[in-house]
Amino acid sequence: MPTQKAHFWLRDEDRATERRTALTPKNARILIEQGFGVTVERSTKRAFSNEDYESAGCYMAEPRSWVDAPSDMVILGLKELAETPAELPHHMIHFAHIYKDQTGWEKEMARFVNGGGLLYDIEFLVNDDGRRVAAFGYWAGWMGAALGAHRLLERRAGRDEITKGVSPFESQAVIIDKLKALAAEVDGPLPNAIVVGAKGRSGTGASECLEAVGIPVTKWDIEETRILNRTALLSHNMLVNCVLMTGPGLLLANQTHLAAPQSRMKVISDVSCDPFSDFNPLPIYKEPTSWTDPVIEVGKNGDGDAVEVTSIDNLPSLLPAQAAEEFSDQFLASLLRFAEGPEWKNAETKFHQIREKAGL
The residues annotated with a catalytic role in the active site are: 79, 97
**Beta-carbon neighbour count of residue 230 at 10 Å?**
14
Q: How far apart are CA 24 and CA 31, in angstroms?
A: 11
12, 207, 322 from 283: Cα distances, Å = 33, 23, 32
Closest CA to 240 of 154, 331, 310: 310
Secondary element (H or E) of residue 180: helix 172-184
Backbone angles phi, psi at 103, to 5 degrees: -55, 130
Exposure string (b/e) for 50-88, b if CB count within 10 Å is 16 or more? bebbeebebeebeeeebeebeeebbbbbbbbbeeeeeeb
**88 near 111, Cβ under 8 Å?**
yes
130, 294, 347 from 343: Cα distances, Å = 9, 34, 6
Q: How far apart are CA 13 and CA 82, in angstroms?
A: 9
Closest CA to 243 of 265, 271, 218: 271
**52 near 25, Cβ under 8 Å?**
yes
**24 near 324, Cβ under 8 Å?**
yes
Backbone angles phi, psi at 291, to 5 degrees: -65, -35
Q: How far apart are CA 229 and CA 238, in angstroms?
A: 16
Q: How far apart are CA 37 and CA 74, in angstroms?
A: 10
Task: Compute the Cα dihedral for 90, 94, 97, 99 and give only its sign.
Answer: positive
